[in-house]
């Protein structure tokens, strides 16, 4: 199995985009989602394209990585576009072909929705490629902190995320070992009749589940033995802090949003 | 033993870690290669098997809230950028696509399965089959299809027809999850004490 999974899809780099505080990146994504659904004319979409492609250029991440993030979504974008082309019946007929009419409104609507998915996926992929999962976890914990006032378990969620992230590679290795052990005993869930493959899955999944229960109990004991007693009184090894780059980004973002608001009519 | 208070729920540290482990297992299942079916163009991915197992095992022992929490946790981890969904997808982008409704339905799915399993007097395969069909298939499509239709701005019936091709694989996963859950119920002594 792929060992590089430990750092997720992160592409190491020293670009401006890499150095932005992860909390700010998450906030930008959420603002952008709102903006994309507020766009309602050609120029507002053009400004959004500008924002996204400027971000990509600044990140200095190869374009091939960006488009890899789009791969699972291409067919959805195309299907949606095609569907609106043939269903929407507002405005004038542009093309008439074999009894099927393509209307003005259908083209605009299809293009609008396709654009939304396109831009959102690119920006989200950029976040994923320029930020490590651990950094995003820290950012999520920081941004959820206000929810503690309504008793949301912020610390516990962050703890569970860290534990899960830590154990995914371990379980991948374990699955690999069990898989090879079972193959040595003649079982292979990727070949043969359907019934045989399902039978071969049992000796793969059951040991994995049982060993995960054991690990959970061992880990709980170890944590308590090391003095863990909840969030109270804890300090943080990794600290997030804003830098000069973040303030420049904030100012640029405000300028962009004001321009966008004036453009959209 | 160390306990927390989450949303009015007293939770032991070891239970919290059980939830974490299940989220990690969800990730591993998503990385296994899909099993092709001869009679369907859509291969079986094992990830939703993990959802059913979370409900059948974790939910049956600790309660449906824990099963749902494991799915919330898994989706949060996917959002951080880990490529744990089938096909190596991950990051916030997956929640901005029409399939997002199916991801979110996993939370309700695990809860329903866990709730029904916890109420079982006797653990028998056919009862597990029924429970996983309701929670693992019906609830998932009940939530996923309308969201897909809404995001693509197409009629719900159109989205439902498209989803039919995934049905054979899902039913087979129901069978697999039910057998695994029953086997584990009798084989795994660890979590029996955990409820105490």
Domain ranges within chain A, ordered by starting residue? 1-131+237-265
Chain Cα centroid distance, residue B155: 26
Q: What pLDDT does B108 receive?
A: 92
Question: How many domains is chain B partitioned into structurally?
Answer: 1
Is the pLDDT at B117 greater than 60, yes or no? yes
Residue A10's alpha-carbon distances to A4, A54, A134, B48, B182, in angstroms, are: 10, 20, 11, 26, 39
Q: How far is A251 from chain B (nearest CA, A)?
A: 24
- Band (pLDDT 50/70/90 cuts) for residue B196 is very low
Question: If you measure CA to CA, which chain A residue comes closest to B189?
Answer: A210
| CATH at B88 | 1.10.1760.20
| Contact between chains at A175 and B28 (C-beta distance less than 8 A) | yes
Q: What pLDDT does B121 receive?
A: 67
| Contact between chains at B77 and A133 (C-beta distance less than 8 A) | yes
Query: How many interface pairs between A and B have CB atoms less than 8 angstroms apart?
Result: 202
Name the residue facing B87 among A29, A72, A79 (closest C-beta). A72
| Contact between chains at B97 and A117 (C-beta distance less than 8 A) | yes
Q: What pLDDT does A162 receive?
A: 83
Q: How far is A194 from chain B (nearest CA, A)?
A: 8
Q: What pLDDT does A26 receive?
A: 76
For residue B20, the enclosing domain spans: 3-195
Q: Which residue stretches of chain A have pLDDT < 50?
A: 1-7
Q: What pLDDT does A15 receive?
A: 65
User: Using CA atoms, how far apart are residues A59 and A53, in angstroms rounded to an integer?
Assistant: 10
Q: How far is B89 from chain A (nearest CA, A)?
A: 8
Question: If you measure CA to CA, which chain A residue comes closest to B50?
Answer: A205
């Amino acid at each position: 199995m792929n060992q590089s999974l430990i750092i997720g899809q992160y592409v190491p780099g020293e670009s401006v985009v890499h150095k932005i505080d992860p909390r700010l990146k998450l906030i930008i994504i959420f603002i952008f989602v709102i903006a994309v659904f507020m766009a309602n004319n050609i120029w507002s979409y053009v400004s959004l394209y500008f924002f996204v492609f400027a971000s990509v250029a600044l990140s200095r991440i190869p374009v091939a990585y960006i488009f890899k993030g789009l791969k699972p979504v291409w067919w959805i974008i195309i299907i949606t576009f095609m569907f609106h082309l043939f269903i929407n019946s507002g405005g004038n007929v542009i093309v008439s072909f074999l009894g099927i009419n393509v209307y003005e409104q259908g083209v605009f609507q299809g293009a609008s929705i396709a654009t939304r998915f396109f831009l959102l996926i690119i920006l989200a992929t950029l976040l994923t490629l320029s930020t490590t999962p651990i950094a995003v976890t820290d950012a999520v914990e920081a941004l959820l902190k206000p929810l503690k006032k309504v008793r949301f378990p912020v610390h516990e969620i962050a703890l569970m995320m860290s534990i899960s992230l830590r154990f995914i590679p371990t379980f991948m290795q374990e699955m690999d070992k069990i898989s090879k052990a079972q193959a040595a005993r003649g079982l292979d869930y990727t070949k043969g009749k359907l019934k045989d493959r399902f039978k071969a899955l049992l000796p793969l999944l059951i040991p994995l589940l049982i060993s995960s229960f054991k690990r959970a109990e061992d880990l709980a004991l170890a944590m308590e033995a090391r003095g863990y007693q909840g969030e109270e009184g804890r300090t943080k090894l990794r600290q997030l802090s804003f830098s000069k780059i973040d303030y420049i980004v904030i100012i640029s973002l405000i300028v962009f949003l004001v321009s966008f608001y004036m453009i959209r009519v | 033993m160390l306990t927390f208070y989450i949303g009015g729920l007293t939770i032991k540290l070891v239970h919290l870690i059980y939830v974490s482990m299940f989220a990690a297992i969800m990730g591993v299942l998503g990385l296994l290669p899909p099993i092709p079916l001869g009679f369907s163009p859509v291969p079986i991915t094992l990830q939703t098997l993990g959802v059913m197992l979370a409900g059948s095992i974790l939910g049956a022992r600790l309660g449906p809230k824990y099963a749902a929490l494991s799915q919330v946790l898994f989706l949060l981890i996917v959002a951080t950028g880990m490529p744990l969904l089938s096909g190596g997808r991950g990051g916030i982008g997956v929640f901005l696509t029409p399939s997002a409704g199916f991801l979110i339905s996993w939370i309700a799915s695990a809860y329903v399965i866990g709730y029904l399993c916890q109420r079982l007097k006797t653990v028998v395969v056919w009862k597990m089959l029924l429970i996983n069909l309701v929670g693992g298939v019906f609830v998932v499509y009940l939530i996923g299809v309308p969201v897909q239709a809404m995001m693509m701005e197409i009629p719900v019936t159109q989205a439902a027809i498209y989803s039919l091709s995934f049905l054979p694989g899902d039913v087979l996963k129901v069978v697999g999850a039910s057998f695994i859950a029953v086997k584990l119920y009798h084989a795994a002594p660890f979590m029996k004490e955990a409820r105490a």
